[in-house]
Amino acid sequence: MSAPAVSTVYPLVLSASRSTDIPACRLDWFLSALDQGGCTWRNPFNGRTVWVSFARARVIVFWSKNAAPLLPHLSRIERAGLAPFFQLTVNDYRAEGFEPGLPRLDQRIAAFRELAGRYGKERVVWRFDPLLLSDTTPVEELLRRVTVLGESLHPFTSRLVFSFADLNAYPRAARRCAAAQAGLREFETEEQDLFAAALAPHLARWGIHAATCGETHDLSKYGIVQNACVDARTFLRLGLLTHEEASAVAKKDPGQRRACGCTVSKDIGAYRTCTLGCVYCYASNGSAKT
C-alpha cells in the first residue's frame, strides 16, 4: 500500500465503516493500513482521493455484523494508539435469509459478549438495524425477536439502536428486496409508534436505553431518543478523547444525512466491498460469502 493521494487528512476519530463491514470482509486490508499508518480513501461522489493518516487518530468506531475475526487483533489495534468503540448489528433474520453471509447467531452473540467483557458495556452498542417488515416479520414478530435477543444481550450493553428500513431511497436495495419476494415494505408512522410503545417496557426491565439512527419521527414519548452513533461527548465521558480533542470534533458531521446526529469522524471504507449479501443494504455488492 502506498500513499498516492493529492492531500493528507489527520482525523481524530476513524469510522470503520459505514460503507462496508471491515471486520468481516476487509480485515486484511485494515491490518495492512494499520501497519502503514494510514490508507487511501476515494470519495464515491466526486472521485477525489486523499491519504487518511492514523497519526493523530485516537478512537476507531467499528461497525460490524460479524466482529469475531477482529478479536485476535485487538491488542495490535490498541498498540497503534487507537481506542476501539463498537457499533455491532445483531439481527435475527435467519429464517428469511435476509443476511445470507453471516455466521450463526450464537457465534455473533459470543463475539459481542467477549468484546463487552474486554471493553465494558458502554463501548459495545447493540444495533437491531434495520427493522424489516415482511410477510413473516410483522411488527409483533419483530418485537418478539428483539425481545429474545435483548434477554441475551442486555447485560453486555447499555444501549440499543435501531432504524426502520428505508427501502425506497436506494434503487439497488429496492430491486434486491423486490427480488426476494418476501413482501418487504417500509413502516407506516403508526407502526413505528406501535413498535416503540411495545418495546419500552422491556427497555425499562433490562435497564438499557434505546435510540433511533437517522430517523425523523419523534419517539421520545416512549423514552427513545435520536442517536449519535459517533459521539464526541460519549468518547470524552469514557476517557477516549481529551476535552481539547472532543471539542475539535464536537460539531455535526457535515457528510452525513440531515437526520444523523453523529459528530465528526473520517470514514475509511469503500462501497461495493462488503460480501455479506444483506438484501436490504445500500452499500453491498450484492453477493454473499460461500
Give the residue numbers spanning the domain of 137: 8-267
Q: For the chain, list residues with pLDDT below 70.
A: 1-5, 284-290
In the chain, the amino acid numbered 32 is: S
The type of residue at 141 is E
Tens of pLDDT along 204-245? 999 999 999 999 999 999 999 999 999 999 999 999 999 999
Domain count, the chain: 1
Sequential DSSP letters for 134-196? -SS--HHHHHHHHHHHHHHHGGG-SEEEEEE---TT-HHHHHHHHHTTS--BPPPHHHHHHHH
pLDDT at 287: 45
Whole-angstrom distance, CA of residue 154 vs CA of residue 188: 28
65: phi then psi, degrees, rounded to nearest 5: -100, -15
Cα(195)–Cα(173) distance, integer angstroms = 24
Q: Of 162, 85, 97, 94, which Cα lies nearest the Cα of 126?
A: 162
Query: In angstroms, rounded to a whole number, what is the distance separating the alpha carbons of residues 248 and 232?
Result: 9
Is 193 within a domain? Answer: yes
pTM across the whole model: 0.95
Which pLDDT score, from 0 to 100, does residue 170 have? 83
CATH number of the domain bearing residue 79: 3.80.30
Judged by phi (left if over 0) then psi (alpha if -120 to 50, else beta), residue 286 lies in: left
Residue 283 lies in a domain: no
